Amino acid sequence: MFLFVGLGNMGKAFAGHRHNAGFMALDAIARAHNAPAFRSRFQGLASEIVLEGERGVLLKPQTYMNESGRSAGEAARYYKIDPSYIVVFHDELDLLPGKVRVKTGGGNAGHNGLKSLTEHLGNEYRRVRIGIGHPGDKALVHNYVLSDFAKPETAWVEALCSAIAANAGLLAKGEDEVFQRKIHQAMETAGSGKAGSI
């Protein structure tokens, strides 16, 4: 059994923020695979899903970003899911917009959601890093991540979420490198390989 965790902040005011890229990806997976409606569980919103014959749970913590680990930890303990079967979708400043990288473990790079997850899950969960780009100045980061994606970015955000949803079964089966390659190919086809500048 797998656990997919999308990171974001709850509430309509945050819905379009770059920091909510994880929620956007999870919502796209739920839509594409006709998952049941999310319901309140584990201090979050959860839905069960089957991908490529693998049973799993989609979870959007409702604790605000910096306490995401409380929700994910509760779900992981309930289902007895090993960290290697936990996949976290999150925004990544250090990747160009529209790029995706998958890795296991590693540092948190100042991301409070990841910091909280590591405190509650250990460090060996898998991460789908969704590139949002960097504003160029550390002083601008806070406002940048807590702002909506700009209108010209909408096309690549939608294309990326669709590609993630279409290939989510690969993550459920542990085929991270194949997933990453498929996303890259999908974004190149969508013409979003050129989206990597701010």
Q: Which two tokens stand for residue 186?
A: 């999908």
For residue 127, give the nearest of 95, 159, 149 by alpha carbon. Answer: 95
The C-alpha R_g of the chain, in whole angstroms, comes to 15
Among 19, 90, 111, 134, the one annotated catalytic: 19
Neighbours of 4 (CB within 10 A): 27
CB 84 within 8 A of CB 104: yes
Any catalytic annotation for residue 111? no
User: Any idea which residues carry the catalytic annotation?
Assistant: 19
